[in-house]
Amino acid sequence: MLDRFAQYFRAWLALWAFALVAAAHTVMAQTPPSVTLEEAVARTLDANPALAANGYRIDAARGRFDQAGIAPNPALDLAINDALGTDDFRGARGAEATLSIVWILERGVRLRQIDAARADISLREVEAQVMHLDAAAETARRFLACLAFQARLVNAAEAIRLAEQTVEAVRARVEAGGATQSELSRAEAGLVRAHLLQEDYEHDLVSANHRLSEQWGETQPDFGRAVGDVQTLPAVEPLETLQSRVDANPDIAFFMSQRRLAEAELHVAQARSRPDWQLRAGVRRIGATDDYALVAEITVPVGRRGRHQGRIAETVADMARASGDAGATRVRIETALFVLYQELLHDVDVAATLSDRLIPLLASALADTRRAYQLGRSSYFELSAVQSELLQARNELLETSIDAHGLVVEIERLTGVPVLSPAGAQ
């Protein structure tokens, strides 16, 4: 009897364990996967269509570099003189045939072309760095948008909870004869509005997820939520530390690379302003005596060297423009960095005040007002006003935190460091 009971018990235990595993698999299948900021940025840098297309520009620049190092091929030159004439020069009896090899003496042009092609590769690589930083920053912005709508949905759920409490409190007062039906209708209307706002945020979150997955070339997101707490305020580094990183901004390096390319092209134009020399050497057959002789010739063009002066003037102007653009970019970045930093400090201060002082006071006021309303010592207008002030303060705290994280993304982009904000998403 005991053995049979033990068998039944083991069978029931196995069935129960199987049911638990099946339920766990069902929950896992229904739970959408999440994505972190690091994963989003990594997927963007790996599969962003614009970045992939730009990679071919670098390949093209490397092809031009390989081409620049190829020397011109020598040429064979066959010349026949004193043939097909009259008398002694009839036919080919007195013909002279000269077979020569002709070389072009570039006089440094090829080396200058190689330097210019190498500078062009550096420019394309810096341009790729700029595009990578821009793509990472845009991914962080879109990731922040996903976090923002997720947090707004949390606030919307809290607003619904408070509205439901208000409806219950007003209904109790109406049933007790201490409030009118219109107050209950207004409270229920507030609950409907709270549900509508929640629905709006749900639609906005779906769109934000699609815009984020677009960064790595997907039209349908394969995740359900972004991982992070946008209400965790970012750490603020000293302004001097941020300013010291401005030189790392590839935007400045881009213009400096443009200047180096213009300088290399200037050297090419200067080298080409010197005419190419031609060296010719070969063997001549003298038909009249059936003898052979070596011949050599060098061709040196004469005239002025001004055939590339316009190109030289253009590259000099390009060098000056690139230097000016680099200086203007530095001023713009440092000014924007200072302004964004001041806004970030302000947002952090405002968020701290809202979180530490204003919201606790309003939460306490709402609790007191609700108790007073239930006892008939406060009006519906006072209850509704305090509740609205609390919800507004919480929404203001959320939006200020979102703005702070957005400012950090822009500051990181200005300083040229890898984008890893929002800090709460790490």
What average pLDDT does the chain have? 78
pTM value is 0.74
**Packing angle between helix 109-175 and helix 359-374, nearest 10 degrees?**
20
CATH superfamily of 32-425: Outer membrane efflux proteins (OEP) (1.20.1600.10)
Would the pLDDT of 272 be above 70? Answer: no
DSSP β-ladder status, 291-299 and 225-226 = unpaired
Q: State the DSSP H helix or E strand holding residue 337, giving kind and residue range, or none if neither.
A: helix 309-353
Structure tokens at 256: 């400096």
Q: What is the mean pLDDT of the segment spanning 102-123?
A: 72
CA 50 to chain centre: 10
* Closest listed residue to residue 123, CA positions, set 69, 62, 46, 66: 62
Structure tokens at 133: 């930083």
The predicted pLDDT at position 10 comes to 41
User: In a 3-state reduction of DSSP, which class is residue 286?
Assistant: strand
Q: Binning pLDDT at 50, 70 and 90, where does residue 359 land?
A: very high
Q: φ and ψ at 35, to 5 degrees?
A: -135, 140
Cα separation, 330 vs 415, whole angstroms: 11
Task: Check: CB of residue 99 under 8 Å from CB of residue 77.
Answer: yes
Q: What is the mean pLDDT of the segment spanning 400-422?
A: 79
User: Tens digits of per-residue pLDDT, 307-341?
Assistant: 667 767 777 777 777 777 778 878 888 888 899 99
Cα separation, 209 vs 226, whole angstroms: 8
The predicted pLDDT at position 307 comes to 62
* Closest listed residue to residue 239, CA positions, set 353, 133, 340: 340
Structure tokens at 167: 């409806």
**For the ranges 150-154, 301-305, 347-351, 385-389, which has the lowest average pLDDT?**
301-305
User: In a 3-state reduction of DSSP, which class is residue 267?
Assistant: helix
Q: Which amino acid is at 415?
A: T
Structure tokens at 42: 């990594």
- Which DSSP state fits 74? P
Q: In what order do the strands lie in the sheet with 291-299?
A: 75-81, 96-105, 277-286, 291-299
* Closest listed residue to residue 54, CA positions, set 133, 139, 170: 133
The predicted pLDDT at position 327 comes to 80
User: In a 3-state reduction of DSSP, which class is residue 218?
Assistant: coil
Q: Binning pLDDT at 50, 70 and 90, where does residue 25 land?
A: very low
Specify burial of residue 382 (Cβ count, 10 A radius: 0-12, 13-18, 19+).
middle
In order, the DSSP letters of 129-157 are HHHHHHHHHHHHHHHHHHHHHHHHHHHHH
**Packing angle between helix 109-175 and helix 380-415, nearest 10 degrees?**
170
Cα separation, 284 vs 301, whole angstroms: 24
The predicted pLDDT at position 331 comes to 84
Q: State the DSSP H helix or E strand holding residue 373, giving kind and residue range, or none if neither.
A: helix 359-374
The predicted pLDDT at position 152 comes to 96
In the chain, where the domains are located: 32-425
Structure tokens at 186: 């207004």
Could you tell me which residues come within 8 angstroms of residue 138 by beta carbon, excluding any fewer than 6 positions away?
215
Cβ atoms within 10 Å of 224's Cβ, excluding its own: 13
More confident residue, 148 or 307: 148
